[in-house]
Structure 1
């Protein structure tokens, strides 16, 4: 047997209000300029480090001969050259992220202007 729904049961079913999405950090924040500036400093340091490593990885040797021009050979140290390539690659990745940070910082709008567009 089924029973009819009484008024007490229908009062118990109250609709809950919709919850607003949590207010998290937005993409457009002016402090991104500081992050981009920090990354620019790290990029410069990585490039200097890469050049230093590359110069240590290439050794030129000169063997003198009597009556002839000296024999010049070049020796490559893979560990230094690999470190230089890794540092340069990391510098490029940080440069891309620095550009992204700057673009997000430039596109920052005041909250009133953002609300009036909606």
Structure 2
């Protein structure tokens, strides 16, 4: 068999990207630096307080002290642990820590708003 000799087309490359229109204005969308993030951080701080209160309440329900009276001696005291309550307390604390990290991030993004001139200078 014989091969046909073809030269590649140099005018248009198959993976060439067309030039963008220079007059088009690209909307960057919402920026990360928004002062309304204070409201989100405040809501997360309220949720953290509620989760810590719930975790303490669950932990107190999960640890039960039992006293068995004995004749002529001090009572025998034992402790019973309920795993479902202790696990719920651990989960609530874990969620509170995660919300705390996000609340710090939200506050930093709300505080570090840059003036418009600085944003335009970076572009």
SS in 1 for 2:66: strand
* TM-score, with structure 2 as normaliser: 0.77
| CA–CA separation in structure 1 for the residues paired with 2:119 and 2:73 | 77
Q: Quick check: 1:98 aligned with 2:103?
A: yes
Counterpart selection for 2:92 from 87, 95, 98? 87
Shift of 1:110: 2.8
User: What is aligned with 1:6?
Assistant: none
SS in 2 for 1:105: helix
Q: Quick check: 1:50 aligned with 2:47?
A: no
SS in 1 for 2:99: helix
Deviations 1:55-92 (A, max 9, x none): 00000000011111100000000000000000000000
| CA–CA separation in structure 1 for the residues paired with 2:63 and 2:109 | 41
Shift of 1:115: 2.5
Q: Quick check: 1:32 aligned with 2:37?
A: yes
| CA–CA separation in structure 1 for the residues paired with 2:106 and 2:46 | 14
SS in 1 for 2:33: coil
* TM-score, with structure 1 as normaliser: 0.80
| CA–CA separation in structure 2 for the residues paired with 1:22 and 1:16 | 14
User: What is aligned with 1:115?
Assistant: 120
| CA–CA separation in structure 1 for the residues paired with 2:46 and 2:88 | 19
For this pair of structures, how many residues does the alignment match? 104
| CA–CA separation in structure 2 for the residues paired with 1:17 and 1:115 | 20
* Runs of 4+ off more than 3 Å: 18-22
Which structure has the highest helix share of the two? Answer: 1
